[in-house]
Amino acid sequence: MNSRYDLLRVMAVVLAPLNLVAAERRITFEHRNDELLIRADRRPLATYVYRDAQILRPYFKDVHAPGGIQVTRRHPPKEGADPVDHATMHPGLWLAFGDLSGADFWRNKARVEHVAFVQPPTAEGDQGAFAVRNRYVAEGSVLGEETCVYTFLVRPPGYLILWDSTFQSNESGFYFGDQEEMGLGVRVATPMMVKPYAGSGHRPGRILNDRGGRDEKETWGRQAAWCDYSGWVDGQSVGLTVMPHPANDRPCRWHTRDYGLMTANPFGQAVFQQGPARKTEVRPGQPYRLRFGVLIHSSDREDDARLDAAYQDYLQCAGALRPESVRLDPDAFKHHVDFFNGMEPENIVNHVSNAQSWDWMRDNVPFFECPDQGFEQIYYFRWWTFRKHLKETADGFVFTEFLDRVGHSGRHNTISCALGHHIYEGTWLHDSRYIDDYARFWYVGNGGDL
């Protein structure tokens, strides 16, 4: 027998499974009437619906995890097996806004028209993408347009969707309002609900964010880098993790419900009891970009720790993380605050007490690591003392120069000569309402008395 022939035959047998795996991992697209079927591993991943007589905006339905388990509620929901509420508002996975210049696209009271595929569906190996242009129309008038690029990746943590939307109006401009129903939403499959559907016997699912908050009670209205909704279906732990891009205009707060809803909301503030109502203005000709990652995952065990790694993988895929970048661990700096809190009695307490100081700093200040520990300690001491001067008043948040009341101060013990220093430092705070309120107090609320 020819030894060379035998070697080639053995290599063919060994390599055949590898070729099969590579083929099964391919992303593919198939056009249907007003729909685009996306497959991965030769199985359905999702269906993109870009025209619908009842749902007046594009959406994804029938989203599946690796292995073929559906992770979004059936669309339409099946009476008796699924809760049937909000059937035309919660079709699966969508981006919608309850207040876009006063028009309600979430509740289908205005229309998002599919204009065209500006990039046709194309796929190569483990990656596929397409781009669309949508027109936002209310009462016969065009408010603006959206160009959205969808990229689908097969990654070690699961299927990853990169969602990249750019909004623009060349005529009048528009605004995003302050509502719960604003942003990227998902309605999970019935067996994944935190509150099991009546009589289903399903094991309760869970909502989890990057700060350890669980379920609606600990995640609703809170800011978080990501939020995950998972549950057990057919012996598998399956779920969706929504990850807003860190370069978005502002961090997302989360509209979460134990009945199966999760929405990443970049615009809500007053609706979450986190400050005054606000509008996010988009001027004529000015682009406004929103990006998200959506991870669809499946495993034979619930492993919360892998979600942090999945978030880092998303940042890498989205170009938000350089290979040499390092994410600092906030808990590595908590000892500074513990030391400061023990230095002296707390005689005056304003908005943030010493006991609350670490939680507030963790949520608001940029972290800094330095080989010179003395220098690093000074950095955190400045923030620790800065928050001591933050006061919540009937005129909003203000900063004082002195903790004790001084004779030459004005309302709320404020002094205008410190304003520039406060704004210069406070502009680094993650929660912008502190400095927004403070500036408003001096320029408007204090009678313009600078």
Summarised one tens digit per residue, pLDDT across range 403-425 is 999 989 888 999 988 899 999 99
Query: Given pLDDT bands bounded at 50, 70 and 90, which one contains residue 25?
Result: low
Summarised one tens digit per residue, pLDDT across range 325-376 is 567 888 889 999 999 999 988 999 999 999 999 999 999 999 998 878 888 9
Q: How many other C-beta atoms are found inside a 10 Å radius of the C-beta of residue 423?
A: 14
How deeply is 117 buried, as exposed, middle or buried, from its count of CB atoms within 10 A (0-12, 13-18, 19+)?
Answer: middle
In single-letter form, the type of residue at position 104 comes to D
pTM for the full predicted model:
0.69
**Contact indicator for 114, 50 with CB cutoff of 8 Å:** yes
Give span(s): CATH 2.70.98, the chain. 69-317
Q: Which class is domain 69-317?
A: mainly beta
State residue 303's pLDDT score: 76
CA angle 164, 167, 172 (to 5 degrees): 175
Q: If you average pLDDT over every residue of the chain, what do you get?
A: 90
Summarised one tens digit per residue, pLDDT across range 364-407 is 999 998 878 888 999 999 999 999 999 999 999 999 999 999 98
State how far the Cα of 305 lies from the Cα of 215, in Å rounded to an integer: 17
State residue 443's pLDDT score: 86
Name the phi and psi angles at 415, rounded to 5: -135, 125
CA angle 18, 22, 28 (to 5 degrees): 160
State residue 101's pLDDT score: 97
CA 85, 89, 92, 97 torsion-angle sign: negative
Name the phi and psi angles at 108, rounded to 5: 60, 35
Half-sphere exposure of 348 (CA within 13 A, CB side): 12
State how far the Cα of 450 lies from the Cα of 309, in Å rounded to an integer: 49
Summarised one tens digit per residue, pLDDT across range 27-79 is 999 999 999 999 998 899 999 999 999 999 999 999 999 999 999 999 999 99
329-343 as b/e, with b when 16 or more CB fall inside 10 Å?
A: eeeebeebbeebeee
